[in-house]
Structure 1
Amino acid sequence: MGRGRNRWIGVTAAVLSAALVYGLYMLQRQQLVHQETVAVLAPKRFVAAGEKLERTDLEWIRMPAGAYSSDMVTELDAASGKETAIPLGRGEAIRDWKLNEHQLQPLSGQSTFQIPKDYVRSVSNGIRAGDRVLLYGSGEGNESRRVFGEPVVVASVKSSANVEVDGLEQSHLLSMAENNKDGMYAARRDANAMIEYVNLNLTEEQWLAIDRLCKDGSVKLVIAYSPESYGGVAAEEGLRNE
């Protein structure tokens, strides 16, 4: 009995020892793999140019350290919510220059339309390129109403000299890129000209709806800036931090 018990104890100890050694080996191997690779973000599917990346579209992949480049995206917030400037393949490491941060380019299915001056009743002087604005229809004998349920993106705002309306001291877009809220505020208050032309990123259906609404002259657009509808990166960060 004693010999049999000792034999089983010896076998059990050997198995446990082997398991411990194997566990340590796997742990060291995993650590070595992590040391030699870098986790970067990639899309789970093909993404066309102009699409907005959602968190559900993204996954982590590991790249060999030797193949890693500093322009590869390694932070989820650096890609989520951004638009693609060029198509991205499934499983392709995302590079920051392939993303459109300020959303001035039209999305897939959109075009940039200049709104005819005779379609516009008023424009908020505070709007700048990259903002989202609300559109309202206003006319005598017609009940004023909101044209679309969602805000639309301003591609550019031009003066009568075809110059982008912006701050005198610092560009609104530059302040946006630097997450400089004071600079963004100053750019809205200190404009270099009056807004004469507004270019909006719209779907074909949205443009045709505006054209039908305004072409007979009875209804005109009121283009309103609202901080709550602002689509810039800095504004989103500010809302998350409040």
Structure 2
Amino acid sequence: MNRKRNTAISLAAAVLSGVLVYSIYVVQLRHVQEQEMVRVVVPKRFIAAGERIAAEDLTYMPLSRSAVNEAMLLQPQEADGWEAVVPLGVDEPVLKWKLDRYRLMPNRSESTFQIPRSYVLSVSNGIRAGDRVMVYVTGENTASVRLFDEPVTVASVKSSNNVEVDNADQSNLMSLADNDKERMYASRRDANAMIDYVNLNLTEEQWMRIDEQCKGGGKLVIAYSPTSFDAVQDGRSEEQ
């Protein structure tokens, strides 16, 4: 009887020991997997906002798998030829939202329309390429209304000499990307010319609405909206 009981106890102890060993193995395996290193893309040097990135500007840095997220680039070729939306520090993992290829190009549902001068009553002298603007319509026989609920993107602002209106020393786009509100303000005060032509990225429906309103006697008022600066701040807040 005692022999059977001892045998049963030994078997139970062996099973428990096996379970304990397996549990330790699973925990260690999971720990090793979490500590497994993944190579992510980082800059070799400081890259300023607005600067176009080349593959040779980038290298790899090992990072634990648990710290890697979907926004991080794993191959330098993914950033080759793209533009830095915000400054990129040395050895800082490159995130997809910090890059853009054609910042002033219209999206798939838009086209870039030059607004005829005869359609425009006034343009805020502070607007610059890359800004988001509100569009209003007014006129003697037209009720004053805001045409679109959301602001639209300015593709370019040109002088009468077909020169982009901006601050030659510190462009608005660079200041916007650097999150530098003071320089943005200064660049709008120290522009190199008056605005004569405005190009907006619009959907076909938006352009048709503008055309219809202006052919009916309305005039456009194009006003700067601070959402351009806010969008950069929001993007940084989400990252943090």
Give the structure-2-normalised TM-score.
0.68
Q: 1:160 to 1:235 in 2, by over 3 A?
A: farther
Shift of 1:130: 1.2
Shift of 1:219: 0.4
Q: CA deviation at 1:171?
A: 1.0
Partners of 1:238 and 1:194 in 2: how far apart?
33
**Structure 1 residue 2: deviation in Å?**
5.4
2:214 aligned partner, one-letter code: C
The one-letter amino acid paired with 1:226 is: S
TM-score by length of 1: 0.68
Q: Does 1:69 align with 2:75?
A: yes
- Quick check: 1:113 aligned with 2:119? no
Higher alpha-carbon deviation: 183-192 or 142-151 = 183-192
Moved more, 2-11 or 202-211: 2-11
1:15 Cα shift?
Answer: 2.8
Output the CA distance in 2 between the equivalents of 1:145 and 1:118.
19
Shift of 1:161: 1.3
Deviation sequence 1:187-228 (CA, Å, 0-9, x none): 122211111111111111111111111124x1010001121x
Amino acid at match of 1:160: S
Separation in structure 1 between the aligned mates of residue 130 and residue 230 of structure 2, nearest angstrom:
6
CA shift for structure 1 position 3? 5.0
Deviates more, 1:30-39 or 1:203-212: 30-39
Per the alignment, residue 219 of structure 1 pairs with 218
Q: CA RMSD in A?
A: 3.6
Partner of 1:197: 197
SS of alignment partner, residue 23 of structure 2: helix
How far residue 237 of structure 1 moved from its aligned partner, in angstroms, is: 4.9
Q: Distance in 1 between matches of 2:69 and 2:6?
A: 50
Q: Distance in 2 between matches of 1:240 and 1:68?
A: 21
1:166 matches 2:166: yes
Aligned 8 A contact 1:111 1:203 in 2: yes
Q: Contact 1:102–1:130 (CA<8 Å) still a contact in 2?
A: no
Aligned to 1:17: 17
Match of 1:179 in 2: 179
Q: Note the C-alpha offset of 1:167.
A: 1.7
Identity %: 54
On the 8 A contact 1:72/1:95 being kept in 2, the answer is no
**In the TM superposition, what are the counterparts of 1:48-127 in structure 2 within 5 Å?**
68-69=74-75, 96=96, 99-100=99-100, 103-127=103-127
Q: Is the 8 A contact 1:176 1:234 kept in 2?
A: yes
Unaligned runs of 5+ in 2: 41-67, 86-93
Alignment equivalent of 1:234, drawn from 232, 235, 238: 232
Determine if contact 1:137/1:221 at 8 Å carries over to the other structure: yes
CA–CA distance in structure 1, aligned partners of residues 33 and 110 of structure 2: 44
